Amino acid sequence: MRTIAIAICLTVFASLAVSGCSGSTPAPAGASSPLGEQSEQSKSGAAKASTPLSSAVLAERLLAQVDLGHDYTRKPETAARHDDVTVIGCPALEQLGGDAATGGSLDFPNKAKVTFVYSGSTGSEVAEELYSDAALKLADGTKQIFDAMTGCPVYQVVIGSRPVKITTQKLAAPALGDQAWSQLLTFTAGGQDSIVKQTAVRTGAVLLIVSGSPALVDSHVEKALAKALPAS
């Protein structure tokens, strides 16, 4: 799990901070209610999530534009960059390592990802990532990452020659799945701040991560979980 921690940061930074997005996105009209109790659909799907799923199956369970509405446009995937990544000021993350982190994905074998741009607020994005592996590996690996990141309130990541200051804040986790984590990250680069919320939910052998503008994350995490763990 050496590459996971910085991959989370870099994924969010690449999709939001570089493009200059703001974290003050209002909740879209008609959006689902914020986080609450685990839905019946999620509970039903949880019983079927003990076996790891292939990347192809995960891809079919990602949110699509039809699930979100006309205000959302799917963002084309870009080629992975391979800049050197150095972590400064957070020993726990330094130990996890950042050499291979620029791939923008977590170090689990089966994965799928999609990013949408929300036109209701200029430049706002929401990204969904699905991972699958043995439940214990997902649980231990994800907990290690979030504990390390939120354990360092302020640290720096140097991507190539570009320094990025990262401030983290642990948030109350939603009452979803078997385990859940949530955090708020502020990326500062070139005098510009970008605020990103990240919520992760593990149910059995499936891990869902939704990242982006805080209001968009809150609006869509339950919908993403319901699709990732269908009732039938």
Which residue intervals of 97-230 are DSSP H helices?
A: 135-150, 214-228
Check: CB of residue 135 under 8 Å from CB of residue 46. no
* pLDDT at position 174: 94
DSSP conformational letter for 51: S
Cα dihedral value 22, 24, 30, 36, nearest 10: 110
pLDDT score at 20:
42
Return the SS3 of 168.
strand
What domains are there in the chain, each with its CATH number? Answer: 4-228 (3.40.1000.70)
The whole-number pLDDT of residue 87 equals 85
What is the model's pLDDT at position 230? 86
Classify 196 as helix, strand or coil. strand
Res 49: pLDDT: 61
Looking at residue 81, its pLDDT comes to: 59
**φ, ψ dihedrals at 61, nearest 5°:** -100, 5
Residue 14 pLDDT: 46
Evaluate whether 15 touches 199 at the Cβ level (below 8 Å). Answer: no
- Tens place of pLDDT per residue across the chain (232 aa): 334 444 445 555 544 444 444 444 444 544 443 443 444 444 444 445 678 999 999 999 999 999 999 899 999 876 655 567 788 888 888 777 653 233 345 778 899 999 999 987 666 899 999 999 999 999 998 888 888 888 889 988 888 888 989 999 999 999 999 999 999 999 898 888 989 999 999 999 999 999 999 999 999 999 999 999 987 5
- What is d(CA 137, CA 79) in angstroms, rounded to the nearest whole number? 28
- Judge if pTM exceeds 0.85: no
| pLDDT number for residue 11 | 52
Residues 6+ apart with CB under 8 A from 141: 1, 4, 106, 107, 108
